[in-house]
Structure 1
Amino acid sequence: MRLRWPVALLVTLLVVVLGTLMGSRTPAEAAKKITIKDSMGRTVRVPCPPQRIVEVNGDVAELICALGDAGKIVGASSYTLQDKFFTSRLKKAQDVGKSFTPSVEKILALKPDVVFGYGKFLKPEIIAQLERAGVPVVLLDCYKIKTMAEDIRTLGVILNRQKEAAAYIAYFEKYRKLFADRVKKIPVNRRPRVYLEQYTDYTLSGPGSGGAELLDGVGARNIGAGLRVPYPKISPEWLLAQNPDVIIKACGSSITSGYGEKPDAMAKKRAEMMRRPGWSRIAAVRQGKVYMLSSEIFTGPRAIVGMAYMAKWLYPQLFKDVNPAAIHKEMLKKFHGLELKGAYVYP
């Protein structure tokens, strides 16, 4: 003889049982989990979508905001939180320390579902500590031109924001291809020789660096192309012997620039560089072709803006119809809901 239970009672019992089973689980633990490959080729199993995110990679933070999930960032690097670009959107995020050496204790206290970091720069021992604590670590570059689309696509899958990611990729690729198509037929001997200085003085953009990819993308001859490391330290004498046609300086945190900032620090640094011993003999200095470029558009998710400026500096006639500021304005409005303001290049 079978017992007949009222349907309403069965539903009630089911809800109670499920509630008991899930009562101690976080939203991310209750969500489905997916397996992805990050920029380093690591296989990582992550909640999809995560509800509590910690980032120690400002480029990933920018993309998370662009894809519509700024509110899920509960912890961020000091560098990100000091950037005016993020001020209005990451008000609730806690500071977890420096990007490459964040505090594991502070990160774990925030109970994140996932941590995003830079592949080649986040310390291995920190990754190991987080993973031993059960927190998945995803290493996405999001600063290299060649892998940008793939990185954004992976982030879109993790966040369950595939549609938004596809829109961003389409915008980025439209301009990347525009620059590449226009310069591809320029003979090598007619391409300007460029010295792209990294954030640290006399540190060059060598093979494998994001800066080198930028130069390749706009048809420049990188004077560091023949070197063997991504960020080689060079001597003043070596640079004078190279005698570049154009000099571009990437402005990091020590040279204030970017969203909501003034150009004063960039102007000061440019003047200082042009007074370096022996630089008066460099072709770029003699012709005034020394340019300052904010870190916000140097590599990273808005690298196409930096590329647009570079293209104009190197080939003003070929790119006379390209307006870098207009591209930047559209990008900020379309993906961030922000108005263009601040200093991004000098002069």
Structure 2
Amino acid sequence: MMNRATGLGRRAAALVGLALSLLLAAPAAAKDIRVTDLAGREVVLKEPAKRIVLGAWVSLDALSLLHPDPVSLLAGWAEGGANTIQPAILRGRFPAIDRVPVVGRGSFEAIGIETIIARQPDLVLLSRFDAYRYGSDAAPGIAKLEAAGIQVAIVDFFLDPLKSTEPSLRILGKLIGREAQAEAFIAFYREHLDRIATRLAKDTVERPSVFLHAFAARPECCFSAGPGTIDGFIRLAGGENIGAEKIPGAVGQLSLEFVLTRNPKVYVATTTSDNADAEAFALGPAVPAEKAARSFARRLEGRDLAALDAVAQGRAHGLWHLFVHTPAHVVAIEALAKWQHPGLFSDIDLDATLREINSRFLAAPLEGTFWISAGDHAPRR
């Protein structure tokens, strides 16, 4: 009897041990992915998003920093806005971009909600500009999407980029299962911005007045930046944006008389590469250095600008306008720091910064000419 009882006990213990080992070996129940977006809304996914619809004002560049094939995540996107920078950059590496369904164009209000629902996304990404374009109330289409069981997350790389870029990248990293990649870029981004802020804090420096001439390829003058967006870049880099003195919103127009009277210390023109006039001032993807230099020299010869001391004395520069839509804007801030305080930031190498972003982070590198200074004959890329 003792032997039989002992045998039963051993078998029972073995069964208990087997059950425990199977329990421990079984995969833990997957936890929901939960984030709080920039509007304070909770977003919940069962697993990392694999079918994303992008609003017009969320640049695919942000996903490109975190994911090796950002186009593979797209179930659809809205044309226009921030996404105008993407096809030229991504088409060569990801031809599938031309097959991404278009769900609408421009503002979120103009996008067909039914079209988005038909794409069956697991996530819709909108910028604050998409979602709150006309005030504090969210666009009504958001509630319709959520009623259909589609999660909507709001991020921002445009309206207040210095405040919103890092939390927006963390939100995206978590929602697509690329948190480590998000933290790696944030560390790089923070290191470069902290270097600028630290030097300006340690030195007593005069903040030069700066005229940011937005859309400088246009014949009419003078579009510029008010508070927010690139105004924050100018201030972080140690300058004072004269546009903020007159323009209440993010973008507006200054009179040529005001600009000439204010006579800023530094002139910075922004432009893109999609101008209708092939000879117009151009910067951006695939723009050759020679064309950028030639077109910028022509722009500075215009009668509206020649009277500025900044132009006459060689303190005139050009910058790719669409840096305002991508976290790669850290390069633009470094450029502004060098131009506004050339002695203090002479050691900053813009080419090296962009090369590191291209090699370490971007799935589709930024290749072209993205900045220029007066007198450059072959500006670096």
Is structure 2 residue 193 aligned with structure 1 residue 176? yes
Partner of 2:232: 213
**Aligned equivalent of 2:355, options 319, 325, 329:** 329
Partner of 2:127: 118
* Structure 1 residues 241 and 133: alpha-carbon distance in aligned structure 2, compared to 1, 3 A threshold: farther
Q: 1:47: Cα distance to partner?
A: 4.5
Partner of 2:21: none
* Structure 1 residues 267 and 345: alpha-carbon distance in aligned structure 2, compared to 1, 3 A threshold: farther
Q: 1:289: Cα distance to partner?
A: 2.4
Aligned ranges 1:240-319 → 2 under 5 Å = 240-252=260-272, 254-255=274-275, 256-263=282-289, 264=291, 267-268=294-295, 271-272=298-299, 274-277=301-304, 279-298=305-324, 300-319=326-345
Partner of 1:341: 367
Q: 1:321: Cα distance to partner?
A: 1.5
SS of the residue corresponding to residue 96 of structure 1 reads: strand
Identity %: 27
Taking the aligned partners of 1:242 and 1:233, their CA distance within structure 2 comes to 15
Describe the superposition over 1:255-281 as per-residue Cα deviations: whole angstroms up to 9, x where unpaired: 45323233536753663365143x322
Q: 1:296: Cα distance to partner?
A: 4.3
Taking the aligned partners of 2:146 and 2:271, their CA distance within structure 1 comes to 34
SS of the residue corresponding to residue 327 of structure 2 reads: coil
Select between 91-100 and 284-293 the one with higher mean Cα deviation. 91-100
Q: Is the 8 A contact 1:60 1:116 kept in 2?
A: no
The residue type paired with residue 83 of structure 1 is P
Aligned ranges 1:172-211 → 2 under 5 Å = 172-187=189-204, 190-199=206-215, 202-207=222-227, 209-211=228-230
Taking the aligned partners of 1:252 and 1:37, their CA distance within structure 2 comes to 34
Partner of 1:147: 164
Partner of 1:100: 107
Q: Is the 8 A contact 1:211 1:299 kept in 2?
A: no
Q: Any gaps of 5 or more consecutive residues in structure 1?
A: 1-29
Matched residue count: 315
Taking the aligned partners of 2:142 and 2:310, their CA distance within structure 1 comes to 43
Higher helix share: 2
Taking the aligned partners of 2:74 and 2:105, their CA distance within structure 1 comes to 16
Aligned ranges 1:161-172 → 2 under 5 Å = 161-172=178-189
Q: Is the 8 A contact 2:209 2:266 kept in 1?
A: yes
**Aligned equivalent of 2:251, options 218, 231, 240:** 231
* Structure 1 residues 236 and 217: alpha-carbon distance in aligned structure 2, compared to 1, 3 A threshold: same
SS of the residue corresponding to residue 261 of structure 2 reads: helix
Q: 1:77: Cα distance to partner?
A: 3.4
Aligned ranges 1:63-142 → 2 under 5 Å = 63-68=62-67, 70=70, 71-79=72-80, 80=83, 83-87=87-91, 88-89=93-94, 90-91=96-97, 92-101=99-108, 103-104=111-112, 105-122=114-131, 124-142=139-157
Describe the superposition over 1:275-299 as per-residue Cα deviations: whole angstroms up to 9, x where unpaired: 143x322121212322221134346
Partner of 1:8: none
* Structure 1 residues 289 and 254: alpha-carbon distance in aligned structure 2, compared to 1, 3 A threshold: farther
The residue type paired with residue 109 of structure 1 is A
Taking the aligned partners of 2:42 and 2:364, their CA distance within structure 1 comes to 35
Select between 98-107 and 178-187 the one with higher mean Cα deviation. 98-107
Q: Is the 8 A contact 1:210 1:299 kept in 2?
A: no
Q: 1:242: Cα distance to partner?
A: 1.4
Taking the aligned partners of 2:36 and 2:204, their CA distance within structure 1 comes to 38
Select between 305-314 and 56-65 the one with higher mean Cα deviation. 56-65
- The higher-RCO structure (CA 8 Å, 6+ apart) is 2
Q: Is the 8 A contact 1:292 1:345 kept in 2?
A: yes
Q: 1:211: Cα distance to partner?
A: 0.2
Taking the aligned partners of 1:55 and 1:159, their CA distance within structure 2 comes to 13
The residue type paired with residue 318 of structure 1 is L
Q: 1:232: Cα distance to partner?
A: 3.0
The residue type paired with residue 151 of structure 1 is S
Describe the superposition over 1:186-209 as per-residue Cα deviations: whole angstroms up to 9, x where unpaired: 446x222111233475232222x2
* Structure 1 residues 229 and 55: alpha-carbon distance in aligned structure 2, compared to 1, 3 A threshold: same
Q: 1:146: Cα distance to partner?
A: 2.5
Partner of 1:16: none
Q: 1:345: Cα distance to partner?
A: 1.3
TM-score (normalizing by structure 1): 0.79
Describe the superposition over 1:2-61 as per-residue Cα deviations: whole angstroms up to 9, x where unpaired: xxxxxxxxxxxxxxxxxxxxxxxxxxxx98644432223333344441110111256542
Please identify the structure whose Cα radius of gyration is greater: 2
Q: 1:316: Cα distance to partner?
A: 2.0
Select between 32-41 and 160-169 the one with higher mean Cα deviation. 32-41
Describe the superposition over 1:202-229 as per-residue Cα deviations: whole angstroms up to 9, x where unpaired: 232222x220111121111121344443
Q: Is the 8 A contact 2:126 2:152 kept in 1?
A: yes
Partner of 1:6: none
